Amino acid sequence: MRNNLNRKILLASRPTGTPDASHFKMIEEQIPELKEGEVLIQSVYLSVDPYMRGRMSDAKSYAQPYEVGEPFIGGIVGKVVDSKNPKYESGQFVDGRLEWADYNVSDGSNIRRVNPDLAPVTTALHVLGMPGLTAYFGLLYIGEPKKGETVVVSGASGAVGMIVGQIAKLKGCRVVGIAGTDEKCSFLTNELGFDSAINYKTAEHLGKTLREACPSGVDIYFDNVGGSVSDAVMNQINFQARIIICGQISQYNLEKPEMGPRVAGQLLKTSSLMKGFIVSDYAEHNKEGLKQLSEWVRDGKIQYRENVVEGFENTIEAFLGLFRGDNLGKQLVKVTEE
């Protein structure tokens, strides 16, 4: 189960447009000996997320940038394979923000136990983890959806978007998803119960299609993508609309910032709110959020979909695929068998 070599993925250099394999470097190291209080964790599932693109740059942001020559860090579910920490024992599942590697050594402060009997361990990386909480906090704390309102979600079939739409349905809203393939759109309406889904890549006139899908206008816009998709939605917002800025994936790989229609005038005319956030802004509510999400998943009220790539060596390609819209559902890498 354990050899002595540990593969790690490092940031080789900072991209200025779209990243490619040259910006990553895979190395092999010896697994260090454990010190007193430490735990050795073997990665089982690894999460690749769009926000990580931001950390490859050194522009000022909420997230500390990755350092060149240092490993990527992200959500990982792993198994304890050795422990000198009384709180953890071999065979237990944990998740935490760990290095992209086969093995991580932890002092226990950056991991938490995952109970494989409550839900599949992978859910700790999406619906019962960071993306699920992101959906929950953004929609409920910023959006404050009311029954009968219309909620539009961009990036709707992604890890966050699919949860946002389902919570909005549970709150009695009309939910319209925007995604980039017909397969994604049919997943949203047929499997998740979205009222409507729009393929922005094939819609002849996105504004017109949106107006048809949102006959009463847009009260809440949960934005994962930005750019021209968002421009079209902003033209449809109602009085006192809430625009939740969760991601801007269309903008992350631009070599220089894109110009667009100014939004301030639209916010002014409609007394609307636009708010950026990061999941950790609401960390004090994590327990409440996870409890509610767990109940919804247990009761079958929230569905999820995973897109699993096998093999640590395919991590980089899985990450780059996020920006091509390859994934339907939460993109994971299976590093080893459970």
Q: How far lies 72's CA from each of 48, 75, 149, 316, 319, in Å?
A: 10, 10, 40, 11, 11
Q: How far lies 175's CA from each of 150, 154, 168, 335, in Å?
A: 6, 11, 7, 35
Collect all residues with Cβ–Cβ distance below 8 Å to 175 and sequence separation of at least 6.
150, 151, 152, 153, 165, 168, 169, 193, 194, 195, 196
Residue among 1 and 264 whose Cβ is closer to a copy of itself: 264
Residue among 94 and 153 whose Cβ is closer to a copy of itself: 153
Shortest Å distance, C-beta 30 to a copy of itself? 38
Q: Residue 112: what are its φ and ψ, rounded to 5°?
A: -140, 155
Residue among 51 and 93 whose Cβ is closer to a copy of itself: 51
Residue among 78 and 143 whose Cβ is closer to a copy of itself: 143
Residue among 7 and 211 whose Cβ is closer to a copy of itself: 211
CA atoms within 13 A on the CB side of 323: 20
| Joined tokens for residue 204 | 């002849």
Shortest Å distance, C-beta 168 to a copy of itself? 20
Residue among 12 and 245 whose Cβ is closer to a copy of itself: 245
Between β-strands 73-83 and 150-154, what pairing exists: parallel, antiparallel or unpaired?
unpaired
Shortest Å distance, C-beta 100 to a copy of itself? 23
Shortest Å distance, C-beta 194 to a copy of itself? 23
Shortest Å distance, C-beta 280 to a copy of itself? 9
Name the H helices within 70-222: 130-137, 161-170, 182-186, 206-213
Shortest Å distance, C-beta 270 to a copy of itself? 7
Q: For the beta carbon of residue 269, count every other beta carbon within 10 angstroms.
A: 10
> Would you tell me which residues interact with a copy of itself (CB under 8 A)?
54, 59-62, 223, 226-227, 230, 239-240, 245-248, 251, 257-278, 281
